[in-house]
Amino acid sequence: MKKYTDTGKKDTRSGFGAGLYEAGKADNRIVALTADLKGSLKMDAFANEFPERFFQCGIAEANMAGAAAGLAITGKIPFIGSFAEFVTGRIYDQIRQEIAYGKTNVKIASSHAGITLGEDGATHQTMEDIALMRALPDMVVINPCDYNQTKAATIAAAKYDGPVYLRFGRPSVPNFTEEDKPFVIGKADVMTEGKDVTIIATGHMVWEALQAAEILESEGICAEVINVATIKPLDEKTIIASAIKTKAVVVAEEHNMAGGLGELVAGVLAATVPTPMGFINGKDLFGQTGTPAELLKAYGLDAANIADAARKVLARK
């Protein structure tokens, strides 16, 4: 089985900051807006280098979304940045009307997503955001897995003409994908090839899925791990091919069941190759205060639980 090495823990939001800076250097149409979270979104490098293309909006996310749409209408490529909850749930209508409906070229940079935001607690932890953004016609939804992939996805989002929801997180996590590997929107990556069970994961759960595959390997179970960084449009072909091969699928995500990747994959497989499935996600719960590690354990979002789900689904083959 192909092994991945953590080259040093980094936060995915720093991958966004690095990608934004690089994209901004390459294309002067790129502008960035934030609602009082420049530092948290790691936008400093961009803001310092291109002050005339950086717009502080204050704590007013609704206006930020509308102003970004206006900038996009004039041909700019705006990135708006805030915490995941505040650039989705708080301003869902603005995103729908001003950005998604017109296929307006705005990129929604969504940091501190999921439960691993940690100590701030339930008010700031969203595990509903993918559902909200997925529901919008023509919205591209990307949830990269580590620093390198987040940087590459940011650059790809900047080059794509249309609305993109780009989701990343707060904590330092393993950085294990290839550096500067171009990100292809809509393409899933088969991380390890396997024959017994498929583990489909997105975001922070990809590393956990790889750890789960190692646990399973020690038990003689050969797991295929697929990194689905683009949730919409979904790489159905790769997923269906893997399900046909392994006949057992687990989906792991740092998001609730409702409207998440698990439901999405279940819908695709139900309509094509009905397959026994297991789900690792935030179920139907709000978050709470704790360290990211404590929370992942408490909500069952880790390698041990993914491996367990794989064993259970294998038994149903």
| Cβ–Cβ < 8 Å for 282, 305 | no
For residues 88 and 34, give the distance between their C-alpha atoms in angstroms, rounded to a whole number: 14
Interface residues with other proteins (CB under 8 A)? 31, 52-53, 55-58, 60, 62-76, 78, 93-94, 96-98, 101-104
Edge-first strand listing for the sheet containing 223-227: 189-192, 223-227, 197-201, 249-252, 277-280
With CA atoms as reference, report the closest residue to 114 among 259, 281, 243: 281
For residues 306 and 301, give the distance between their C-alpha atoms in angstroms, rounded to a whole number: 8
For other proteins, the closer CB: 55 or 160: 55
For residues 275 and 269, give the distance between their C-alpha atoms in angstroms, rounded to a whole number: 7
208 has catalytic annotation: no
For residues 246 and 234, give the distance between their C-alpha atoms in angstroms, rounded to a whole number: 19
Active site residue: 61, 128, 224, 263, which one? 61
For residues 171 and 56, give the distance between their C-alpha atoms in angstroms, rounded to a whole number: 24
* Nearby residues of 112 by Cβ (< 8 Å), 6 or more positions away: 13, 40, 83, 84, 120, 124, 169, 170
- Give the catalytic positions in this structure: 61
